[in-house]
């Protein structure tokens, strides 16, 4: 008689701790994961079927939020603080229409 081994799988669910904001002067910048839809391009020749198989990319970006407006989200991923002043690097502006989800991390 054939005997099968059995194993027990344990999944640990850990709560993600939300990071502390960056504070410069009286301004707080919170860290987020932004899930957004980006264009995908292909410069090769393709038939109709291959063309219709193309899809946009779902991109995940971790960043701090500089500002949110009705139409845009401004973010940065690096910064330098000197003398209670901040400079921003790796900056992006996302049209809200491409953002699928924003999660504070």
In a domain, 14, yes or no: no
Dump pLDDT digits (tens) for 17-34.
899 999 988 899 999 999
In a domain, 66, yes or no: yes
Rounded CA-CA distance 64/51 in Å is 36
Dump pLDDT digits (tens) for 68-90.
999 999 999 999 999 888 999 99
Contact call for residues 37 and 58 (beta carbons, < 8 A): yes
Q: How many domains, in total, are found in the chain?
A: 1
Q: What pLDDT, on the 0 to 100 scale, is given for residue 13?
A: 57
Contact call for residues 56 and 47 (beta carbons, < 8 A): no
27-55 mean pLDDT: 97
Q: Helices in the chain by DSSP H: which ranges?
A: 48-52
In a domain, 8, yes or no: no
Residue 6 has pLDDT above 70, yes or no: no
In a domain, 33, yes or no: yes
- Residues of the domain holding 90: 22-104
Rounded CA-CA distance 60/11 in Å is 24
**Count of positions (residues) in the chain:** 105
In a domain, 42, yes or no: yes
Q: Which residues contact 21 (CB under 8 A, 6 or more apart)?
A: 28, 29, 30, 31, 64
């Amino acid at each position: 008689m054939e005997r099968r081994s059995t194993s027990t799988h344990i999944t640990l669910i850990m709560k993600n701790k939300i990071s502390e904001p960056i504070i410069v002067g009286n301004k707080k910048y919170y860290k987020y994961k932004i899930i957004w839809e980006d264009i995908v391009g292909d410069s090769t020749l393709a038939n109709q079927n291959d063309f219709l198989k193309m899809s946009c990319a779902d991109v995940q970006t971790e960043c701090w939020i500089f500002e949110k407006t009705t139409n845009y989200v401004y973010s940065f991923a690096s910064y330098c603080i000197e003398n209670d002043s901040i400079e921003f690097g790796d900056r992006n502006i996302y049209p809200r229409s491409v953002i699928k989800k924003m999660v504070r991390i």
